[in-house]
Chains A and B, each alone.
Chain A
């Protein structure tokens, strides 16, 4: 059983002793005995421990190596000389040997005398002898242990790029056994690595490389290379330190997917509103927009007032868009829609377990909007306790999560809106006067549509083109009579009502021109009161008007049912419900049946 030269070359040792699992010597190299404690005992068939007593007590470790359960065992820096004789120091290491079946073990011997003599000399003269010895005699096994404990893969090559050492992580990652990698060119593992001598001057700069695994997978790995030598010069070889990038890549993918989802959701929020542009020609809107442009550039709290449907949210969005916070979030909170009892937790978040059902920590809207804007719609609906907290946020820009103790500080601009009379609310005690005072720093009143009839046709055209795009209809114009009708109407529901009317009219309209008849506008006798009219009242008037316009015809192409977008049967039952009956003079409405 001859020892293969590669086995020894890979280990850099010239002398060896081959022995079996009974510690019986099988083969001895020419000068091995010279390094033994008892040279005469280093002959075949003798117990290897007779010549190498350092193996006494290490039997368990040796059997583990034979089983493949351990990589190697060694004793460093053994002094083999008598006290007054010429010094001789040796490193003894045991490795798995060649041969399958009955495993053999190789004991390799390395003469480390020059090195140890140097240490001995320094130790004898230096005050820090102890430290010096410890630093210089750190064992190979010790270093191997450290390298094997590393999570990163480590590959050492010769100056020519032949792998001379790898650590356990490299073996685990690639799936190759360590001995299978020793002696292979570095390109075996890293096909992208330049063949031949590895480049110099690459110290510490990570490069991404594909690393071949035994299963044929190309694993993305980030490598840093460091020359072993003087400066950037490759003298002894090159050290490759590699980190598995697979997990990182997966994480990056996840994050970017989440980011884009988030982005598209935000975009959807910005664009999916009917008519996101603010359209006006009236001077009252002009003044508002000028004020808006000025206040947008500041961080001032803005209170937007205006009747329902005037587009207060649009105004808030515009302020955000024109502000320095435009790249951060605009978080909209409809105070009327917040679930009672959870208002504070919605706005300011809660800690895990803050109350029954608070299973996880939750970030509130204010924290979410940090750096951006919070738009509090229908602020008049905010419960009093939340008003107190909001007041503190406005004053100090800090708050606590529900159930939390740490003050969270945020940088948030607050825009509030209401269609109610907050002063009236202060009087009847449902709104804090100090909060109103804080919010009312810069009030913006959005004028109702009836105050700016010039804007109505413009807005109508705007909605017409928006809905045309959306519904693929090609209604291109509005006839003058229709424009007059639009301007003359009092628009109690303001812009929102106008948008609804245009949308409905477009469904009814079959040509390319919008006509007054398509609008189905019912001018209430006293528009002011109409605000308070019951839904049934409005619906009844609307039905009566439509029926009259259709000459009392319910069914058919020009009938009232078609114009209202209802089935004739539905219209009839609704008429019955609203107490509309057909008389001699046309339709009349009696009292609504109970």
Chain B
């Protein structure tokens, strides 16, 4: 089965852990326990139409990283070998949106052939849906698309992860095959 490492990155407290938890465990918690180090989870995504080469679908290995500014060598080593990343922002905090580009570029420096998916999380709090992604990011080649997500309600969460999984299944040139 195809294996793909995916990193979840973004500023602190934007909901990275919550998104993974919603997608993998189908649950949510109000409590905030900041992530230290890394939490690695697996989630199987079945094949979709057009993924003919991979009848077993794909195993996503999700790296939920601690959030923040740190572009230290440690995060560098965490990011190595990833085929893609979900870059998360919190719609209620504009500075986390501004930080998207920094995180994206850092990831691409380490994985130049990686792909990115942007998640505008906590969309349940953005009632007029007015928050937009900066133009510089929307035009970036590596960015597949942008999702409005809510780990609280579950809106957009599966859609984002599955979109990434299907991209790997279709564009399977250099997947990790077991």
Interface residues of A (CB under 8 A from B): 37-38, 47, 49, 53-54, 56-61, 74-79, 82-84, 89, 116, 119-120, 123-124, 129-130, 133-134, 137-139, 141-142, 145
Q: Return the chain A residue nearest B6 by Cβ.
A: A57
Contact B37 A76 (CB under 8 A): yes
Q: Which residues of B contact A134 (CB under 8 A)?
A: 68, 70, 72, 74
CA distance A399 to B133 in the complex (A): 65
Contact A116 B36 (CB under 8 A): yes
A420 to nearest B CB, angstroms? 76
A423 to nearest B CB, angstroms? 79
Tell which of B12, B34, B81 touches A61, judged by Cβ atoms closer than 8 Å: B81
B35 at the interface (CB under 8 A from A): yes
B39 at the interface (CB under 8 A from A): yes
CA distance A145 to B76 in the complex (A): 12
Q: Which residues of A contact B77 (CB under 8 A)?
A: 74-75, 139, 141-142
Tell which of A61, A124, A137 touches B74, judged by Cβ atoms closer than 8 Å: A137
Q: Given A53-B40, A75-B78, A83-B21: A124 and B34 within 8 A (CB)?
A: yes
CA distance A141 to B63 in the complex (A): 18
Apart from A137-B37, A138-B73: 10 A-B pairs, beta carbons within 8 A: A49-B3, A53-B42, A54-B63, A57-B4, A57-B61, A77-B38, A120-B33, A120-B34, A137-B66, A138-B74
Q: Return the chain B residue nearest A124 by Cβ.
A: B34
Q: Which of B67-95 contact A (CB under 8 A)?
A: 68-70, 72-74, 77-78, 80-83
User: Which 10 pairs, one residue from A and one from B, show the smallest C-beta to C-beta distance?
Assistant: A77-B37, A57-B81, A57-B5, A142-B73, A79-B39, A139-B74, A56-B61, A53-B61, A134-B70, A130-B68
B135 at the interface (CB under 8 A from A): no
CA distance A76 to B72 in the complex (A): 14
Contact B38 A75 (CB under 8 A): yes
A325 to nearest B CB, angstroms? 57
Contact B33 A83 (CB under 8 A): yes
Supply 23 A–B pairs (Cβ within 8 Å), ascending by A: A37-B42, A54-B63, A56-B176, A57-B4, A57-B80, A57-B82, A57-B83, A57-B176, A61-B81, A74-B77, A75-B77, A77-B37, A78-B40, A84-B29, A120-B33, A133-B36, A134-B70, A134-B72, A134-B74, A137-B37, A138-B73, A139-B73, A141-B74
Q: Given A47-B178, A123-B34, A130-B12: A60 and B70 within 8 A (CB)?
A: no
Which of A47, A60, A77 has the most chain B CB atoms closer than 10 A to its own CB? A77
Q: Which residues of A contact B5 (CB under 8 A)?
A: 56-57
CA distance A75 to B39 in the complex (A): 11
Q: Which residues of B contact A124 (CB under 8 A)?
A: 33-34
Tell which of B39, B69, B82 touches A78, judged by Cβ atoms closer than 8 Å: B39
Tell which of A53, A59, A83, A89 touches B29, judged by Cβ atoms closer than 8 Å: A83
Contact B36 A120 (CB under 8 A): yes
Contact A37 B73 (CB under 8 A): no
Contact B38 A138 (CB under 8 A): no
B169 to nearest A CB, angstroms? 16
Contact B81 A56 (CB under 8 A): yes
Which of B36, B68, B77 has the most chain A CB atoms closer than 10 A to its own CB? B36
Which of A47, A53, A58, A78 has the most chain B CB atoms closer than 10 A to its own CB? A53
Contact B36 A119 (CB under 8 A): yes
Tell which of B34, B36, B82, B178 touches A137, judged by Cβ atoms closer than 8 Å: B36
Q: Which residues of A contact B38 (CB under 8 A)?
A: 54, 75-79
Contact A58 B80 (CB under 8 A): yes
CA distance A119 to B38 in the complex (A): 13
Q: Which residues of B contact A53 (CB under 8 A)?
A: 40-42, 61
Q: Which residues of A contact B70 (CB under 8 A)?
A: 130, 133-134
Q: Which residues of B contact A130 (CB under 8 A)?
A: 12, 68-70
Q: Return the chain B residue nearest A37 by Cβ.
A: B40
Q: Which residues of A contact B74 (CB under 8 A)?
A: 76, 134, 137-139, 141-142
A41 to nearest B CB, angstroms? 10
Q: Which of B121-178 contact A (CB under 8 A)?
A: 176, 178
CA distance A361 to B35 in the complex (A): 62
Residue interface bits B13-37, CB-to-A below 8 A is 1, else 0 = 0000100010001000100011111
CA distance A176 to B173 in the complex (A): 42
Contact A129 B37 (CB under 8 A): no
Q: Which residues of B contact A75 (CB under 8 A)?
A: 38, 77-78
CA distance A496 to B42 in the complex (A): 103
Q: Which residues of B contact A139 (CB under 8 A)?
A: 73-74, 77
CA distance A53 to B42 in the complex (A): 7
CA distance A141 to B78 in the complex (A): 11
CA distance A74 to B12 in the complex (A): 24
CA distance A49 to B176 in the complex (A): 11
CA distance A119 to B33 in the complex (A): 12
Q: Which residues of A contact B34 (CB under 8 A)?
A: 120, 123-124, 129, 133
CA distance A76 to B73 in the complex (A): 12
CA distance A418 to B88 in the complex (A): 89
Which of A124, A134, A141 has the most chain B CB atoms closer than 10 A to its own CB? A134
Q: Which residues of B contact A38 (CB under 8 A)?
A: 42
Q: Which residues of B contact A49 (CB under 8 A)?
A: 3, 178
Q: Which residues of A contact B21 (CB under 8 A)?
A: 83
CA distance A471 to B71 in the complex (A): 82
CA distance A119 to B68 in the complex (A): 16
CA distance A134 to B72 in the complex (A): 8
Which of A61, A129, A139 has the most chain B CB atoms closer than 10 A to its own CB? A139
CA distance A119 to B35 in the complex (A): 10
CA distance A479 to B5 in the complex (A): 111
Tell which of B35, B42, B78, B81 touches A60, judged by Cβ atoms closer than 8 Å: B81
Q: Which residues of A contact B39 (CB under 8 A)?
A: 78-79
CA distance A78 to B59 in the complex (A): 19
Contact A142 B80 (CB under 8 A): no
CA distance A141 to B66 in the complex (A): 18
A114 to nearest B CB, angstroms? 13
CA distance A588 to B3 in the complex (A): 122
